[in-house]
Structure 1
Amino acid sequence: MTDTYDPEGRSSSTRRRFLAGGTGLLAAGFAGCLGGASGSSGSDTDGTGDDGEDGPVAVASFFSFYDFGRKIAADTPVTVRNLIPTGLHGHGWEPNASITRQIVDADAFIHVGEDFQPWADRAIQTLKDDNVDTQLINVREGVELVPLAETLDRDEEGVGEGRGLDPHFWLDPQRAKQAVDNITEGLVELAPDHEETFRANAETYKTDVLERIDADYQAIFDAADRDVVQLAAHNAFQYITDRYGVEMRPLVVNLAASGDVKPSDITEAKRVIDENDIRYIGAGVFETRRPAKQLITETQVEAYFPVTPYAGVREDWVENNWGYEEIAYNINMPTFEVVLGNKPPEEAGHDGWAAEWRNFE
Structure 2
Amino acid sequence: MLKKYGLLMTSLLLAVALFVSACGKPQASLVKGKINIVASFYPLYDFASKIGGSHVNVINLVPAGVEPHDWEPKSRDIQNITKSDLLLYLGAGFEGWVDHTVGSLPKDAKVTPVETSKGISFMKATEEENAPKGDKSAKEGAYDPHVWLSPVNAKLMAQNIKDALVKVDAAHQADYEVNFKKLSDQLDQLNTKYKTKLAPLPNKDIVVSHQAFAYLAKEYGLVQKPIMGLSPDAEPTSKDMKDIIQFVKDNHVKYIFFEELVSDKLAKTLAKDAGVQTMVLNPLEGLTEEQSKQGADYVSIMENNLNNLIKALQ
Change (3 A) 1:51 1:165: closer
Other-structure match for 1:326: 300
- Give CA deviations for 1:155-213 in whole Å, capped at 9, x if unaligned: 4347xxx8343221111111211111110111111211011111121122111x10111
Question: Which of 60, 72, 81 is matched with 1:94 structurally?
Answer: 72
Other-structure match for 2:165: 187
Other-structure match for 1:142: 119
Other-structure match for 1:109: 87
Structure 1: 4+ residue segments shifted above 4 A:
39-43
Q: Distance in 2 between matches of 1:87 and 1:101?
A: 23
Q: Indicate yes or no: 2:245 matched with 1:270.
A: yes
Question: Which of 200, 210, 213 is matched with 1:237 structurally?
Answer: 213
Q: Indicate yes or no: 2:125 matched with 1:151.
A: no
Q: Give the secondary structure class of the aligned counterpart of 2:137.
A: coil
Matches within 5 A, 1:160-309: 163-207=141-185, 209-231=186-208, 233-252=209-228, 254-301=229-276, 303-309=277-283
The answer as to whether partners of 1:115 and 1:121 remain within 8 angstroms in 2 is no
Other-structure match for 2:58: 80
The answer as to whether partners of 2:137 and 2:234 remain within 8 angstroms in 1 is no
How far did residue 53 of structure 1 move? 3.8
Q: Distance in 2 between matches of 1:336 and 1:311?
A: 18
Matches within 5 A, 1:54-65: 54-65=33-44
Instruction: Give the aligned residue type for 1:101.
Output: Q
Q: Give the secondary structure class of the aligned counterpart of 1:248.
A: strand
How far did residue 288 of structure 1 move? 1.3
Instruction: Give the aligned residue type for 1:337.
Output: I
Change (3 A) 1:193 1:99: same
Q: Give the secondary structure class of the aligned counterpart of 1:66.
A: helix
Instruction: Give the aligned residue type for 1:145.
Output: F
Q: Which has the larger radius of gyration?
A: 2
Instruction: Give the aligned residue type for 1:306.
Output: V
Over aligned residue pairs, what C-alpha RMSD do you find? Answer: 2.1
- Unaligned segments of structure 2, at least 5 residues: 1-22
Q: Distance in 1 between matches of 2:307 and 2:24?
A: 30
Q: Distance in 2 between matches of 1:115 and 1:273?
A: 31
Q: Give the secondary structure class of the aligned counterpart of 2:48.
A: helix
How far did residue 247 of structure 1 move? 0.3
The answer as to whether partners of 2:137 and 2:230 remain within 8 angstroms in 1 is yes
TM-score normalized by the length of structure 1: 0.74
- Count of residue pairs brought into register by the alignment: 288
How far did residue 120 of structure 1 move? 2.2
The answer as to whether partners of 2:30 and 2:36 remain within 8 angstroms in 1 is no
- Give CA deviations for 1:306-336 in whole Å, capped at 9, x if unaligned: 1112110111211122110111123x12211
TM-score normalized by the length of structure 2: 0.85
Q: Distance in 2 between matches of 1:277 and 1:305?
A: 16
How far did residue 84 of structure 1 move? 0.8
Other-structure match for 1:133: 110
Other-structure match for 1:336: 309
- Give CA deviations for 1:238-279 in whole Å, capped at 9, x if unaligned: 011210111021110x21223223322211210111111222
The answer as to whether partners of 2:34 and 2:57 remain within 8 angstroms in 1 is yes
Matches within 5 A, 1:21-60: 49-60=28-39
Change (3 A) 1:239 1:114: closer
Q: Distance in 2 between matches of 1:151 and 1:103?
A: 38
Other-structure match for 2:289: 315
How far did residue 114 of structure 1 move? 4.4
How far did residue 131 of structure 1 move? 4.7
The answer as to whether partners of 2:267 and 2:278 remain within 8 angstroms in 1 is yes
Change (3 A) 1:50 1:224: same
The answer as to whether partners of 2:85 and 2:111 remain within 8 angstroms in 1 is yes
The answer as to whether partners of 1:229 and 1:247 remain within 8 angstroms in 2 is yes
Instruction: Give the aligned residue type for 1:213.
Output: L
Instruction: Give the aligned residue type for 1:169.
Output: V
Instruction: Give the aligned residue type for 2:201.
Output: A
- Give CA deviations for 1:72-104 in whole Å, capped at 9, x if unaligned: 0013x2211211111012223223322222212
Change (3 A) 1:238 1:41: farther
